Amino acid sequence: MTYTDLKVNKTHTEASNRVFHHIIGKNPGATIVFFAGVHGNEYAGVRALDNVLKTITPKDICGEIYGVYGNIKALEKNKRFLKSDLNRMWTSKQLNNLKINTFLNEEEQEQQELFSFLKKLLAIIKNPVYFIDLHTTSSKTLPFITINDALINRKFSGCFPVPIVLGIEEYLDGPLLSYLNTLGYVSLGFEAGQHTDPVAISNCEAFILLALKQAGNAKHINADRAENVLKRSCDDITSIFEVIYKHHIKPKENFEMLKGFESFQDIKKGTLLAISNDIEIYSKFNAKLFMPLYQKSGNDGFFIIRRIPEFFLKLSEILRQIKADSLLTVLPGITWRNKQKGILKANLSVTRFMAKSIFHLFGYRNKQLDKTHVLLYNRERVSKKEMYKNESWLKD
């Protein structure tokens, strides 16, 4: 499948038409924004949005629906990206560079246009807003959701009959959804299947319909068929998993994933997974493989995930609701970096023996600051819970 196969009107590729679908309902309601093609070799989301949204008219919906192109230039060339990965650029430093740099490369131009769209949208938004980023993977996979670990994301994601993966933000720098989560909005990624598998398009279509239903934009939709499509694709697996390891491909590293692996495949400790610079890489865990890399671009070789027991999910929900994370600063080596934004600073020489799972219970994910300290980010303290308090999925 190529970009031209989508038969999208050529004017859609012009900067002024980055929004290739915008439906304003006759009645008020939530705003839902779908991003597609943030990676230019992933077309399923674009095709699925076209297939679904062209059948919807304003009288059918409440609120507003947006379909937004991600990396237009990369879509035209069927490449993940041209100069830099658009889904690894949403850091404070990079966004500041957009303001001061006089020369912008292809992806920076794309990002500038997307950033402008977001700023204009969020400046006027009053009703609940949902951001959904549609993707596919290079390996075979069940469809699944990835989220930053905030309770509003967990709750909304629980409306869909697919596996949910938490914690990937600890291992990636600058995803679009992580930026949107720092602003407090419900934001999730949907991975529909393998890049070129036609089933990925039908999975995407089903997910879009369910999202419109759950967000209240299209309450008339009969969700049974869409749910059945996803249940079949997922083999009824709906557990919540957590990323526990990532193999990061370094510059000039000659990495090759062994053939035949799939996402969510069970692996045992000692399983040979890949070859890197003629060195064999074995699994260090009894767990599940996640997103093994079978394309030349990208530096995420593979991830390993593990199912989270229901007890810990419930415990973490209780701890966050009572804001028990304030107790963490009583522990040695932990101080507030920014309490309002939910950012702790941890001294590694003191806290390195503390299990990461303890911080995860309270909603904190870490990022390395320097060799001696890490910053711990909490999505709960910034999430806009009040915005969604009347949504049906939060009440259920």
Q: What CATH number corresponds to the domain at position 102?
A: 3.40.630.10
Q: What CATH number corresponds to the domain at position 285?
A: 2.40.50
Q: How confident is the model at residue 11 (pLDDT cuts 50, 70, 90)?
A: very low
State residue 9's pLDDT score. Answer: 39
Confirm whether 317 is domain-assigned.
no
State residue 351's pLDDT score. Answer: 80
In 3D space, the residue among 271, 272, 267, 265 whose CA is nearest the CA of residue 286 turns out to be 267
Question: What's the total number of domains in the chain?
Answer: 3
pLDDT exceeds cutoff 50 at 100: yes
Specify the pTM. Answer: 0.93
Domain match, 169 and 256 both: no
Question: Containing domain of residue 328, as a range?
Answer: 323-378
State residue 102's pLDDT score. Answer: 87
Whole-number Å distance between alpha carbons of 305 and 242? 5
pLDDT exceeds cutoff 80 at 10: no
Q: Are residues 41 and 195 in contact, defined by beta-carbon separation less than 8 angstroms?
A: yes
Beta strand pairing call for 129-137 and 186-194: parallel
pLDDT tens column, 166-186: 999 899 989 999 999 999 999
Q: Tokens standing for 217?
A: 């934009």
The Cβ-side half-sphere exposure at 206, using a 13 Å CA radius, reads 25
Domain match, 183 and 110 both: yes
Name the domain boundary from 218, 238, 258: 238
pLDDT exceeds cutoff 50 at 15: no
Domain match, 231 and 255 both: no
Query: Which residues are CB-contacts of 243 (< 8 A; sequence separation ≥ 6)?
Result: 165, 166, 167, 168, 170, 171, 290, 303, 304, 305
Domain match, 147 and 42 both: yes
- SS3 label, residue 194: strand
Domain match, 93 and 164 both: yes
In 3D space, the residue among 359, 61, 343 whose CA is nearest the CA of residue 218 turns out to be 61
Whole-number Å distance between alpha carbons of 13 and 229? 31
Domain match, 155 and 262 both: no
State residue 385's pLDDT score. Answer: 93
Bridge partners, 41 (sequence order): none
State residue 236's pLDDT score. Answer: 83
The Cβ-side half-sphere exposure at 319, using a 13 Å CA radius, reads 20
pLDDT tens column, 106-161: 999 999 999 999 999 999 999 999 999 999 999 999 999 999 999 999 999 999 99
Q: Tokens standing for 27?
A: 């009645």
pLDDT tens column, 21-70: 999 999 999 999 999 999 999 999 999 999 999 999 999 899 999 999 99
pLDDT tens column, 69-95: 999 999 999 999 999 999 999 999 999
Segment 222-231 shows an average pLDDT of: 93
State residue 1's pLDDT score. Answer: 40
Bridge partners, 344 (sequence order): 336, 376
pLDDT tens column, 262-282: 999 999 999 999 999 999 999
Q: Which of 139-143, 214-218, 366-370 has the lowest mean pLDDT?
A: 366-370
Is the Cα dihedral 379, 383, 388, 389 positive or negative? positive
Please provide residue 237's backbone torsions phi and psi, each rounded to the nearest 5 degrees: -85, 120
